[in-house]
Amino acid sequence: MELRPDQFLRRLAGEALPPVVLVAGAEPLVVQECADAVREKARAEGYAEREVLHAEGGFDWNRLTQGMASLSLFASRRLFDLRLPSGKPGKEGGEAIREYCANPPPDTVLLITAQDWSRQHAGKWSEAIAAAGHLVPVWPLKASELPDWLSTRLRRRGLVATPEALERLVERVEGNLLAAAQEIDKLALLLPPGAGAIDLATLERLVAESSRYDVFKLVDAALAGEAARVPRILAALRGEGEQVAGLLGFVMKEIGTLAGFAAVQASGGNLMAEMRAAKLWDAKMAQYKRALDRHPPSAWERFAIGAGEVERMAKGRAEGDPWRALERLLLAIARPRAATALLAK
Secondary structure (DSSP) of 259-287: HHHHHHHHTT--HHHHHHHTT--HHHHHH
Question: Has residue 150 got a pLDDT over 90?
Answer: yes
How does residue 37 score in pLDDT terms, banded at 50, 70 and 90? very high
The CA distance from 236 to 238, in Å, is 5
The CA distance from 135 to 17, in Å, is 13
Chain segment 49-107, per-residue pLDDT in tens? 888 888 877 788 888 777 666 655 555 788 999 998 888 888 888 999 998 899 888 88
pLDDT at 2: 92
Domain ranges of the chain: 5-138, 143-206, 215-334
- Contact of 114 with 85, CB cutoff 8 Å: yes
Highest mean pLDDT pick, 31-35, 51-55, 85-89, 206-210: 31-35
Average of pLDDT values for 36-44? 92
Best CATH choice for the domain 143-206 from the list 2.40.30.170, 1.10.8.60, 3.90.550.10, 3.10.129.10: 1.10.8.60
The answer, as to whether pTM is greater than 0.75, is no
Task: Note the maximum CA span of the chain.
Answer: 72
Q: Which helix (H) or strand (E) holds 20?
A: strand 20-25
Best CATH choice for the domain 215-334 from the list 1.10.3720.10, 3.80.10.10, 2.60.120.10, 1.20.272.10: 1.20.272.10
Closest C-alpha among 200, 206, 204, 198 to residue 159 = 198
Mean pLDDT of the chain: 86
Q: Which long-range contacts (CB under 8 A, 24 or more apart) does 268-273 make?
A: 270/57, 270/58, 271/57, 272/56, 272/57, 272/85, 272/86, 273/56, 273/57, 273/58
- Contact of 272 with 86, CB cutoff 8 Å: yes
Determine the distance from the C-alpha atom of residue 8 to the mean position of all C-alpha atoms in its chain, rounded to a whole number.
19
Question: Has residue 213 got a pLDDT over 70?
Answer: no
Question: Has residue 307 got a pLDDT over 80?
Answer: yes
How does residue 244 score in pLDDT terms, banded at 50, 70 and 90? very high
Angle at 112 between CA 108 and CA 118, to 5 degrees: 150
The CA distance from 40 to 192, in Å, is 29
Please tell me what DSSP assigns to residue 161. Answer: B
5-138 placed in CATH 3.40.50.300: yes
Q: What values do phi and psi take at 123, rounded to 5? A: -175, -165
pLDDT at 341: 57
- Contact of 98 with 132, CB cutoff 8 Å: no
